[in-house]
A = this chain, B = another copy of it.
Amino acid sequence: MSTNISIGLAGIGVVGEGVIKMLDERQDEINLRCNKNIVIKAVSAKNKDKRRSINLSKFQWYDNAVEMASDNNIDVIVELIGGSDGPAFELAKSTITNKKSLVTANKAMLAIHGDELSDLAEKYNVSLNYEAAVAGGIPIVKTIRESLSGNKIEKVYGILNGTSNYILTKMEDASSNFKDALSEAQKKGFAEQDPKNDIDGIDSAHKISILTSIAFGSMIDFKNVYVEGIRKIEPIDILYARELGYRIKLLSISTLNQGGIQQRVHPCMVSLQSSIAKVDGPYNAVVLEGKLIGKTFYEGLGAGQGPTASSVVSDLIDVAQGKILPPFGLAEKNRKRIKHIAIEGLESAYYLRLNVLDKPGVLADLSSILAKEGISIEKVIQRDLINNNCVSIVMLMHETKELNMMNAVNSIKQMTSVKDEPVMIRLENV
């Protein structure tokens, strides 16, 4: 064995402990794979005395992770602190400017500061690896950045948030409502106490903005990701979806065409027959489409100790093997700012569910509003008498422009016979 690669690890939660365990338990095999000794030398975390399943006494302790980055005995920093700014970002900058490679699982930081960090990494000629930041155990970053790097990728999409997917699966299996499914997810550790980032689509948006940049050779454009979460989905929508041949999934979608890049995160109805419809519970999936490669599909656990640690360790092995690649696949000067296409520019088919008063003329009014916007109806289901003399009307619209759909929904909301907020879900061809 030739030389040691000394690691400084910052942030010792579930994933941090997983990395320490994996490097310990699989030490021999890992060192053989990279022909170096990967050794954790120092660690840092917010709370030194927290109860942990591993013994930290053999590592040097740093109260301040940034100081660890300037320790001359450390070659690589693994950042598992989390959060887009604050200590994580300070540590990231300090690591790179100290000419050390950085391995991180921090999607929020990359979505917001990825361009700046990539620029710094190039300037200081170090690696910035982040396989664990997107889709846990699925090696999608390397796949796009290296394996499919000769392709013209035109669409990247997937289920990138295990928490939302777990909740949607639960709602379907147990016919439970959103709140109950969420609280069960929290009990089982699949959702955090503050679940906003996951269920409102923000975490997914972080991740799709990163994949977009690698796939399309563009600068990161997180602020222009259209985001809609899963709070408004009700069990009845899931039932209607199944009746119509669909399942509801929170998808992250990015497309490149001549007009530019469109990035969006929202609940979608996907065909029951599609591979992605069958991705359940805590699993993630990513689909890449391109002219040469056709369609490739990747599925695996989206989070958790094992899969995430596995991705961190593969990044470390890459660093140990001395490979320094541009973080987002292209040298900084070649990354492009590509125009973004707003959600209004989308063309899609739609599902619309309304609670309306059960009286004559309502369907006629609805139809005429849709006709006025040039929207053609594929299917109508009017069946359930709910309560207060209301019935639910479900409509599937043929492909139309989002802008027309928005106008129609706004007009429909004004109708006195329409009660409650309309539920609109986009259909996605997958």
Contacts and interface: CB of A to CB of B under 8 A. Distances in A.
A317 B146 contact: yes
Contact of A148 (B34, B139, B146, B299): B139
B329 A306 contact: no
A307 B293 contact: yes
A373 interface: no
Interface string A272-309: 01010010000000000011111111111100101101
Contacts of A149: 30, 33-34, 314, 317
Which range holds the interface residue count of chain A? Answer: 35 or more
A297 B298 contact: yes
A179 interface: no
A223 interface: no
Contacts of A35: 331
Given A22-B292, A294-B137, A301-B293, A310 B142 contact: no
Interface-central residue, A296, A297, A334, by most chain B CB under 10 Å: A296
Interface stretch (A46-54, A68-76, A318-326): A318-326
A137 B296 contact: yes
A97 interface: no
A151 interface: yes
Contact of A152 (B26, B143, B151): B26
A27 to B, nearest CB: 10
Interface in A314-372: 314, 316-318, 321, 323, 325, 329-331, 334
Contacts of A137: 292-294, 296
B292 A306 contact: yes
A79 interface: no
A294 B284 CA distance: 12
Contacts of A225: none
A323 B324 CA distance: 10
Nearest to A34: B149
Contacts of A151: 26, 310
Given A146-B142, A150-B33, A298-B298, A292 B309 contact: yes
A77 B152 CA distance: 24
A138 interface: yes
Nearest to A35: B331
Contact of A296 (B290, B298, B318, B330): B298
Contacts of A30: 149-150
Nearest to A300: B296
B33 A330 contact: yes
A131 interface: yes
Nearest to A311: B147
A33 B275 CA distance: 30
Nearest to A143: B139
B146 A32 contact: no
A32 B334 CA distance: 7
Nearest to A144: B139
Contact of A317 (B22, B150, B291): B150
A173 interface: no
A66 interface: no
Given A310-B148, A313-B150, A314-B148, A296 B299 contact: yes
A309 B359 CA distance: 62
Interface string A146-160: 111111100000000
| Shortest Cβ-Cβ A-B pairs, 5 listed | A139-B147, A296-B300, A150-B313, A292-B306, A297-B299
Given A296-B300, A321-B325, 12 more contacts: A22-B292, A26-B152, A32-B330, A138-B296, A139-B146, A148-B310, A148-B314, A150-B314, A273-B278, A275-B275, A275-B299, A291-B306
9 contacts: A22-B292, A29-B152, A131-B147, A137-B294, A142-B142, A146-B318, A273-B278, A290-B310, A291-B306
